[in-house]
Every structure is written in structure tokens, then in C-alpha cells.
Amino acid sequence: TFVVTENCIKCKYTDCVEVCPVDCFHEGPNFLAIDPDECIDCTLCEPECPAQAIFAEDDLPSGQEAFLTLNAELAKIWPVITAQKDAPPDATEWDGKPDKLQYLER
Ligand code: SF4
Ligand code: F3S
């Protein structure tokens, strides 16, 4: 499965959702999660993310391992998103900031 990682938090560009053939992105207040039970490993979303926040499960950067279970958990409670929407107005300011997990809203 593919996994949305920390840099999506407060960036949430949503380019990723348009290319997913099986609609496995789920939307929270300031983060998106991929449903691992739906993802078919097509790889299309990974290069679409301007924040480079999407990785294959087996290719997660060091320190991002917790996002595997977090995606699974949040995808179960958040609604599906299939259409791109405007990013938060301050998205570019947050892009690349470290330690954003503390800002994740549920
Ligand atoms: Fe969707 Fe493909 Fe990305 Fe999986 S890898 S979330 S199926 S676009
Ligand atoms: Fe997040 Fe990147 Fe998608 S910032 S919403 S994973 S395009």
C-alpha cells in the first residue's frame, strides 16, 4: 500500500486524489489518509504530491513508520475525497516544516 506521511499535514494540496483509480483517499481537517484495504499500488499518486508526502509502504523514510497504521486508522473514520480542492492559504509556509504530527486534527 501507499502511505501519506507527515509533510501532508497543513499542506493538503489534494493533487493526489484526482489520479487514484480506486478512490482510496480519505479527508480529514488538515491531512489525507490512504485506505490500505483499497490501494492497489498503482503508484500514480506518489509523483503528484507537491509536498512529496506519499511513499510506498516499503519505502517509508526514517521516522515516518507510524503513518502506516495512522493512515489505516484515519481512513476508516474520514470520508472519501475524489476531487481536488484549494489548499490551505498557508500551505506553502508549512511545506517542509518538521514535527508537524502534533498539529494533526482528527
Ligand atoms: Fe490510489 Fe494508486 Fe495511490 Fe494507491 S498507489 S492510493 S491506488 S493512486
Ligand atoms: Fe497531502 Fe500531497 Fe495529497 S500534500 S493531500 S498527499 S497531494
Q: pLDDT digits over 20-57, tens only?
A: 999 999 999 999 999 999 999 999 999 999 999 999 99
23 C-alpha to ligand 1 centroid (Å): 8
Average pLDDT over the chain reads 98
Task: Please count the structural domains in the chain.
Answer: 1
Please give the pLDDT value at position 9: 98
In a domain, 9, yes or no: yes
Question: Which residue has cell 502511505?
Answer: 3
The rounded Å distance from CA 19 to ligand 1 centre is: 8
Residue 18 lies in a domain: yes
Q: For the domain that residue 73 is a member of, what is the CATH number? A: 3.30.70.20
In a domain, 89, yes or no: no
What's the gap in Å between 103 CA and the centre of ligand 1?
A: 25
Q: Is 15 helix (H, G, I), strand (E, B) or coil?
A: helix
Q: Which of 40, 38, 31 is nearest to 13 (CA)?
A: 31
What domain range includes position 47?
A: 2-83
Domain membership flag for residue 106: no
Note whether residue 53 is domain-resident.
yes
Q: How deeply is 104 buried, as exposed, middle or buried, from its count of CB atoms within 10 A (0-12, 13-18, 19+)?
A: middle
Looking at the CA of residue 23, tell me the nearest atom of ligand 1.
Answer: 1
In a domain, 79, yes or no: yes
**Is residue 68 assigned to a domain?**
yes
Which DSSP string corresponds to 37-98? Answer: TT------SGGG-TT--EEEGGGPPTT-THHHHHHHHHHHHSPB--S--PPPTTHHHHTT-S
Atom 3 in ligand 1: residue holding the nearest Cα:
45
pTM for the full model?
A: 0.98
Residue 12 within any structural domain of the chain: yes
